[in-house]
Amino acid sequence: MTSTTTNPTSARESELLARVPTGLFIGGTWREASGGGRIAVEDPATGRTLVEIADGTVEDGAAALDAAVAAQAGWARTPTRERAEILRRAFDLVAARADDFALLMTLEMGKPLAEARGEVAYGNEFFRWFSEEAPRIAGRYSENPVGGSRLLTMKQPVGPVLAILPWNFPLAMGTRKIAPALAAGCTIVVKPATQTPLTTLLLAQVLEEAGVPAGVVNVLTSSTTGKVTAPLIADPRLRKLTFTGSTPVGKKLVEQSAEQLLRISMELGGNAPFLVFDDADLDKAVDGAMAAKMRNQGEACTAANRFYVQRGIADEFSRRLAERMGSLVVGRGTEDGAQVGPLIDARARDDVAQRVTEAVDAGARVLTGGSAVGDTGYFYAPTVVVDVPADARLLREETFGPVAPVVVFDTEEEGIALANDTEYGLIAYAFTQGLERGMRVAEALETGMVGLNAGVVSNAAAPFGGVKASGFGREGGLEGIEEYLETKYVNFPL
């Protein structure tokens, strides 16, 4: 592991930050928070403030919902082809400003520029995908089996939506919710994460330029997410809540939403197992492990968190993984050659460090890494740990960081049992060259998604989501737009 030099903010960065809106976007208007408060947005690579933005209040939240409600009927009546063309224009505009979005994400979240560019491409696909799905919204017509009438079903928008976003994928998590909502005919209030609001603010500016009518998309930034969103969730005019984040917060939101019986979709935490069987192609398995573990510095709900390797190849896999992890370049994401950026804040870095220390104290061995990097920013070295006790937090809880704990197993049944031994069920990875084994394992894993000989599965054309404590509902794919549609049945006699 090596580290690049952390440089101060460049002229290009300063110029971009000066162009990003810093107010609330409500009813098609940019404005300051009603209380005049401001939030400092920090660069996690330096600890310095990038810019200050509006700190929205409860009153601002109410205004945002008012705007969404006022725009709902008109947007629902907008022809699907027109909605589709607006989304397609948004896709083109984001693509044209890909460098701006990538740099902005790197500044406020920390990921290397190359990875940020990948997120722009991935996240933007939701605009293109749902621009194509909007005109395909359809019901069905059928005869009453006993005669005398016809049965008609139709799809209609759920209504105003509240979307609460996480900080780790500032663009993709926004487009993954905004695009299907708009395609379905729903208006939306978007609450970005306090740590990474700038990408969402720039996205709102792009959507305005693409022709989204006033009030259809509203962006509410605030340092007190729970305080400003609770009244919205309790408001009977809100009809849908979508959230990506931790399972404990998701549970609280589900409780709050019960009073209004809101339609809800929850993409919550994960603790993804990564299974490597003794017949796997080791080169492909290590490549897959690097992709599954190190995307976003390991700060992803889909990140591989528990590596289970069959005994015959465990030592060689661990050696190769440690070699690859140890060679990664740690540094500010804007620096040439940087492959691993900082964690989001000091608390995140310290939590990762504490988990590794606990495992080592309990008998685990560090093959590479195992410590913070540098005196500036929130960097942690890519780490591989072996001989990890079964009750270690590195295995039992989701770890948001660049740490790969490796555990040995003997039989296929044991490997599957270890993989399923968690409350979470978002995604699992399995590497084997045996087709029959691959299908057995994929069917037996208790997750919403499986990467079979693949370290990355996210795709706008595929349904993303989990089971168990990882939530419910799906984003992307044919299923994604259904989360924002109600089915109405009409019976008419003949």
φ, ψ for residue 232, nearest 5 deg:
-70, -40
Cα-Cα-Cα-Cα torsion 58, 59, 61, 65, nearest 10 degrees, comes to 140
Residue 44 identity: P
Burial tier of 233 (Cβ tally within 10 Å: 0-12, 13-18, 19+): buried
Interatomic CA distance for residues 220 and 57, integer angstroms: 9
| Contact between residue 491 and residue 485 where contact means Cβ atoms under 8 Å apart | no
Q: Round to whole Å and give the CA distance between 353 and 329.
A: 19
The helix (H) or strand (E) run that includes residue 409 is: strand 403-409
Distance CA 447, CA 243 (A): 19
* 347-353 long-range Cβ contacts below 8 angstroms, 24+ apart: 348/299, 348/378, 348/400, 348/401, 349/378, 349/379, 349/380, 349/401, 351/400, 351/401, 352/380, 352/399, 352/400, 352/401, 352/402, 352/403, 353/380
Burial class for 489, CB neighbours closer than 10 Å (0-12, 13-18, 19+): exposed
For residues 479 and 265, give the distance between their C-alpha atoms in angstroms, rounded to a whole number: 12
What tokens appear for 369 in the block?
A: 């890494």
**Contacts by 360-365 with C-beta closer than 8 Å and gap 24+?**
360/385, 362/389, 362/392, 363/387, 363/389, 364/388, 364/389, 364/392, 364/394, 364/405
Instruction: Tell me the sheet residues that pair with 189.
Output: 162, 218
Which residue in 82, 107, 78 sits closest to 16, CA to CA?
107
Type of residue at 370: G
DSSP E strand stretches across 245-371:
263-267, 272-276, 304-310, 329-330, 365-368
Instruction: Please report how many Cα atoms fall inside a 13 Å half-sphere around the Cα of residue 155, on the Cβ side.
Output: 17
Amino acid identity, position 323: E
Whole-angstrom distance, CA of residue 60 vs CA of residue 462: 35
Edge-to-edge, what's the strand order for the sheet holding 383-386?
365-368, 383-386, 403-409, 304-310, 272-276, 427-431, 449-452
Is 267 a residue of the active site? yes
pLDDT, residue 10, reads: 86
The CA-based angle 115-106-395, given to 5 degrees, is: 65
Q: Are 11 and 103 in contact (CB under 8 A)?
A: no
Radius of gyration of the chain (CA): 23
Q: What is the pLDDT of residue 4?
A: 47
Q: What is the pLDDT of residue 475?
A: 98
- What the block records as the tokens of 342 is 């900082």
Token code pair at residue 118? 């990948």
Is 432 within 8 Å of 280 (Cβ atoms)?
yes
The tens place of each residue's pLDDT in the chain, 494 residues long, gives 444 444 446 899 999 999 999 999 999 999 999 999 999 999 999 999 999 999 999 999 999 999 999 999 999 999 999 999 999 999 999 999 999 999 999 999 999 999 999 999 999 999 999 999 999 999 999 999 999 999 999 999 999 999 999 999 999 999 999 999 999 999 999 999 999 999 999 999 999 999 999 999 999 999 999 999 999 999 999 999 999 999 999 999 999 999 999 999 999 999 999 999 999 999 999 999 999 999 999 999 999 999 999 999 999 999 999 999 999 999 999 999 999 999 999 999 999 999 999 999 999 999 999 999 999 999 999 999 999 999 999 999 999 999 999 999 999 999 999 999 999 999 999 999 999 999 999 999 999 999 999 999 999 999 999 999 999 999 999 999 999 999 999 999 98
Measured in whole angstroms, the distance separating CA 476 from the mean position of its chain's CA atoms is 12
Question: Which are the contacts of 27, defined by CB distance < 8 A and separation ≥ 6?
Answer: 63, 64, 66, 67, 70, 71, 214, 215, 218
* Identified catalytic residue from 133, 267, 335, 412: 267
Please name the residue ranges forming H helices in 112-224: 113-133, 172-184, 198-210
- Are the C-beta atoms of 163 and 191 separated by less than 8 Å? yes
* Burial of 146 per CB tally in 10 Å (0-12, 13-18, 19+): exposed
Query: Both tokens of residue 379?
Result: 């960097």
